[in-house]
Structure 1
Amino acid sequence: MAELFLPTHRADPYTPCRVLREAGPVHRTPIGLHLLTRYADCAAVLQNNAWSHAEEAGQLHPSISAEDAAEEMPTSFLWMDPPDHTRLRTLVSKAFTPRTVARLRPRIEQLCRDLVDCALDRREFDLIEGMAYPLPLTIVCELIGVPAADHRSAQRWSQDLARGFDPDVLMTPEAHQARSTASREFMAYFRELIDERRAHPQDDLLSALAAVEDRGDVLTETELLTTCVTTLVAGHETTVNLVGSGLLALMRNPGQFERLRAHPEYIPSAVNELLRYEPPVQMTTRSAKEHITLAGHEFQPGDGVVVLINSANRDPEVYHDPETLDVARFHDRTTQPPRHLGFSLGIHYCLGAPLALLEMEVLLHELLDRVGTMELTSEDLKYKPNLIVRGLAELAVRFEALS
Structure 2
Amino acid sequence: MRFNPFSADVRRDPYQTYRQLREAPAHKTLGMWVLTRHADVKAVMRDRSFSAGLIPQLIRRQADRFAPGEVGRIERLATKSLVFTDNPDHARLRALVNRVFTAQSIAALRPRITLVAEQLLQDARDRGEMDAIADFAAPLPIQVMCDWLALRGSIRAHVGQWTHDIRFLLEPGLMQGHDLRHVHTVVEEFAQALAEVIAQRRAQPGDDLISRLLAEETAGGDRLSDEELIFVCIMCFVAGNETTKSLVGNGLRALLLNPDQDRQLRALPVLAQGAVREALRYDSPLQLTKRVATRDVGRIRAGDQVLLCIGAANRDPEVFADPDRFDITRNDEEHLAFGHGMHGCLGGALATLQAEVAFETLYRRAEGLRLLTDRHQWQDHSFIVRGLKHLPVAL
Q: Shared topology, TM-score over 0.5?
A: yes
Q: 2: CA distance between counterparts of 1:171 and 1:16?
A: 26
The alpha carbon displacement at 1:178 in A equals 4.0
Contact 1:52–1:81 (CA<8 Å) still a contact in 2?
yes
Percent of paired sites with the same residue: 38
In the alignment, structure 2 segments of 5+ residues that lack a partner are none
Matched ranges for 1:268-283 at <5 A: 268-283=273-288
CA contact (8 A) 2:55 2:171 kept: no
Question: Which moves more between the two structures, 353-362 or 155-164?
Answer: 155-164
Aligned to 1:81: 86
CA pair 70-123 structure 1, distance change in 2 beyond 3 A: same
Is the CA contact (8 Å cut-off) linking 2:55 and 2:172 kept in structure 1?
Answer: no
Q: Aligned residue pairs: how many?
A: 385
Partner residue in 1 for 2:25: 25
1:182 maps to 186
Q: Are the aligned partners of 1:71 and 1:187 in contact in 2 as well (CA < 8 Å)?
A: no
**Alpha-carbon shift at residue 230 of structure 1 (Å):** 0.9
Task: Tell me which amino acid in the other structure corresponds to 2:390.
Answer: E
Q: Flag the 1:91–1:266 CA change in 2: closer, same or farther, 3 A.
A: same
Aligned to 2:357: 362
- Which residue number in structure 1 is paired with residue 203 of structure 2? 199
Q: Deviations over 1:34-53 (max 9, x none)?
A: 11111110011111212111
User: What is the distance in 1 between the residues matched to 2:114 and 2:339?
Assistant: 27
- Answer yes or no: is 1:109 the counterpart of 2:104: no
- Provide the C-alpha distance between the structure 1 equivalents of 2:385 and 2:180, rounded to a whole number of angstroms: 16
Whether the 8 Å contact between 2:133 and 2:390 is mirrored in structure 1 is: yes
Name the amino acid aligned to 1:48: D
Counterpart contact for 2:198–2:226, Cα < 8 Å: no
Please give the residue correspondences for 1:60-71 in structure 2 after superposition, counting only pairs within 5 Å.
62-65=61-64, 68=71, 70-71=73-74
- Which 5+ residue runs of structure 1 have no aligned equivalent? 331-335
Please say if residues 140 and 235 of structure 1, whose CA atoms lie closer than 8 Å, have aligned partners that are also in contact: no
Could you tell me how far 1:74 is from its partner in structure 2?
2.8
Q: Residue 126 of structure 1 aligns to which amino acid in structure 2?
A: D
- 1:200 is displaced (CA, Å) by 3.1
* Higher deviation after alignment, 170-179 or 242-251: 170-179
How far the C-alpha of 1:116 sits from its partner, in A, is: 2.0
Offset at 1:194? 2.0
Which stretch shows the higher mean deviation, 173-182 or 77-86? 173-182
> Equivalent residue for 1:223?
228
Which is worse superposed, 102-111 or 379-388?
A: 379-388
Q: Cα gap change, 1:181/1:389 in structure 2, threshold over 3 Å: closer, same or farther?
A: farther
Preserved CA contact (<8 Å) 2:96 2:224: no
**Which residue in 2 is equivalent to 1:54?**
53
- On the 8 A contact 2:272/2:356 being kept in 1, the answer is yes
Aligned to 1:162: 167
The answer for the alignment partner of 1:333 in structure 2 is: none
Structure 2 Cα separation of the partners of residues 235 and 148 of structure 1: 22
Change (3 A) 1:61 1:279: farther
| Matched residue type, 1:253 | N
Q: In structure 1, what is the equivalent of residue 383 of structure 2?
A: 387
Q: How far off its partner does 1:2 sit?
A: 4.7
Q: Secondary structure at the match of 1:96?
A: coil
Where 1:236 maps in the other structure, the secondary structure is helix
Taking structure 1 as reference, are residues 87 and 249 closer, same or farther at Cα in structure 2, changes over 3 Å only? same
Deviations 1:116-144 (A, max 9, x none): 22221111222112111222111111112
1:396 counterpart residue number: 392
Provide the rounded CA distance (Å) in 2 between the counterparts of 1:265 and 1:8.
Answer: 36
Q: Hey, what's the Cα distance between the residues in 1 that align with 2:226 and 2:101?
A: 22
CA RMSD of the aligned region, Å? 2.5
TM-score of the aligned structures, taking structure 2 as reference length: 0.89
1:340 is aligned to 335
Q: Which has the higher strand share?
A: 1
In the other structure, the counterpart of 1:40 is 39
How far apart in 2 are the matches of 1:254 and 1:282? 25
Which residue number corresponds to residue 318 of structure 1? 319
* Residue type at the aligned position of 1:307: L
Calculate the TM-score normalised by the size of structure 1.
Answer: 0.87
Does the 8 Å CA contact 1:4/1:17 hold for their aligned counterparts? Answer: no
* Distance in 2 separating the partners of 1:306 and 1:19: 16
Which deviations, in whole Å up to 9, do the C-alpha atoms of 1:4-28 show, x marking residues without a partner? 2225532322232223223x13121
CA offset digits 1:160-184 (Å, max 9, x no partner):
222442252x455554444333323
CA contact (8 A) 1:266 1:328 kept: yes
How many Å separate the matches in 2 of 1:284 and 1:173? 24
Structure 1 residue 265 displacement after superposition: 4.1
1:304-315 pair list within 5 angstroms: 304-315=305-316
Q: Give the Cα separation in 2 of the matches to 1:266 and 1:348.
A: 28
Q: C-alpha distance in 2, partners of 1:235/1:167? A: 18
CA distance in 1, matches of 2:253, 2:92: 38
Most deviating of 242-251 and 225-234: 225-234
